[in-house]
Amino acid sequence: MFRRRVVFIDAAGTAYISPEFNGDKAEMEYFRLSDSCDVNWMEIQDTFRQCKTIEEFKTACITAQGFYHSSMPNPDPEPPAPAVPVSELEAPPKCDVIVVITPRDCYYIHQMEVKRDDA
């Protein structure tokens, strides 16, 4: 399964990164996991496509996390993880795909494979 993150770069050039999205509906079904996801990655990306502000990006992060469901019973689930400025990360994120969004007249989503040290 692919580990994915979304980066939003605001008008001032500050980059914010989403929590990790591990897999999607097709991948979880393929591997017959007990966890699930309601949608495929392209639909998750659509959640982020029109983000123009950090507040819209944070809302998109929460919405996208809501597509994922754990099979583990948890009476006190943790709240969705927040988007954080990239500058606050202690180390680069370990993920397979990073999607970058900028709030320009045209909205670009770019995917790139990221080599991991542990891969």
Q: pLDDT tens per residue, the chain (119 residues)?
A: 888 988 888 888 888 999 999 999 999 999 999 999 999 999 999 999 888 899 999 999 999 999 999 998 876 777 788 888 888 877 767 777 777 778 764 445 556 555 445 44
The single-letter code of the amino acid at 71 is: S
Claim: this prediction has a pTM higher than 0.85: no
pLDDT (0 to 100) of residue 75:
63
Two tokens, residue 56: 């819209």
Q: Are 97 and 17 in contact (CB under 8 A)?
A: no
Which pLDDT does position 88 carry in this prediction?
Answer: 84
